[in-house]
Amino acid sequence: MRASAMKNYLIRMVLIMTCYMITLFTVKYLDQSYDFSQPVRITLAILPVLPAIVTLWIFLAFFRAQDELMQKIMNETTIISAGIVGIGTFMLGFLHDVIPLPGNPLIFVFPAMIAVYGVVQWFVIYRYYS
Amino acid sequence: MKNKIKDLRSDHKLSQAELGSKVGVSRQAINAVETEKHVPSLTLAFKIADVFGLQIEEVFFPQKE
């Protein structure tokens, strides 16, 4: 893993996560403080997605800066973690017909993908680095 | 894909990190190629062979089924 690419990735991620948190709390505050029309509320509700879209660009730039082994590791990790989260949410979809699930599980799909990626990555790295 | 990178490195007194630096990959990538956990791309294979002044087929050998 190249040190400069890792440094850039971490700096960009910290900045975009800060933007995400500010957007999230600002949107919540505005929605609770003012009586907006429905189109404005919808626009505000999806605003926190914008920083999340930027994280995809940051991740792609990080991926492209890696050597071929690390790219292979990242590809395998992405396939496995997408599969785990995909099958998990697929199962939740079937369960939803039998057991009413509380809250909005859709909002957890993206964070779950990130969390599962983080765990799976270490197993894939171990396979190639050991 | 079998290879004789380890022997060539030893002959040229190069560490995995030094070879990796010459061909633009990490030490771990060289180790994974040496231990046959990773089949290198054609570009990387050419670069590795070039470091030792050899043809690609003198460094890498296809594994017979």
DSSP A2-68: -HHHHHHHHHHHHHHHHHHHHHHHHHHHHHHHS---HHHHHHHHHTTHHHHHHHHHHHHHHHHTS-H
pLDDT score recorded for residue A4? 85
A128 to chain B, minimum CA–CA distance in Å? 6
pTM, rounded to two decimals: 0.86
Q: What ipTM, to 2 d.p.?
A: 0.88
B64 to chain A, minimum CA–CA distance in Å? 23
> Domains in chain B, please, with CATH?
2-56 (1.10.260.40)
pLDDT over 70, % of chain B: 97
Are A47 and A76 in the same domain? Answer: no
The parent domain of residue A122 ranges over 67-130
Are A128 and A98 in the same domain? Answer: yes
Q: Is the pLDDT of residue A38 over 90?
A: yes
Residue B40: Cβ-neighbour burial (10 angstroms; 0-12, 13-18, 19+) = buried
At A101, list the tokens: 């699930």
Check residues A97 and B13 and name the one with the higher pLDDT. B13
Of B24, B28, B40, the CB nearest to A129: B28
- Domain presence at residue A46: yes
- Inter-residue contact A68 to B25 (CB < 8 Å): yes
Are A80 and A36 in the same domain? Answer: no
- Domain presence at residue A124: yes
Identify the CA nearest to B16 among candidates B39, B37, B35, B41.
B35
- Domain presence at residue A128: yes
- Domain presence at residue A62: no
Query: Stretch A17-23: mean pLDDT, rounded?
Result: 95
Q: Give B33's contacts in chain A (Cβ within 8 Å).
A: 69
Are A86 and A129 in the same domain? Answer: yes
The size of the A-B interface in CB pairs under 8 A is: 30
pLDDT tens digits, residue range A48-85? 999 999 999 999 999 999 999 999 999 999 999 999 99
pLDDT score recorded for residue A114? 94
Give the angle subtended at the CA of A66 by the CAs of A63 and A72, to the nearest 5°: 75
Are A33 and A85 in the same domain? Answer: no
- Domain presence at residue A59: no
Q: In chain A, how many domains are there?
A: 2
Q: Is the pLDDT of residue A1 over 70?
A: no
Looking at chain A, which residue has its C-alpha nearest residue B33? Answer: A69
Are A78 and A110 in the same domain? Answer: yes
- Domain presence at residue A36: yes
Are A47 and A93 in the same domain? Answer: no
B21 in A contact zone (CB under 8 Å)? no
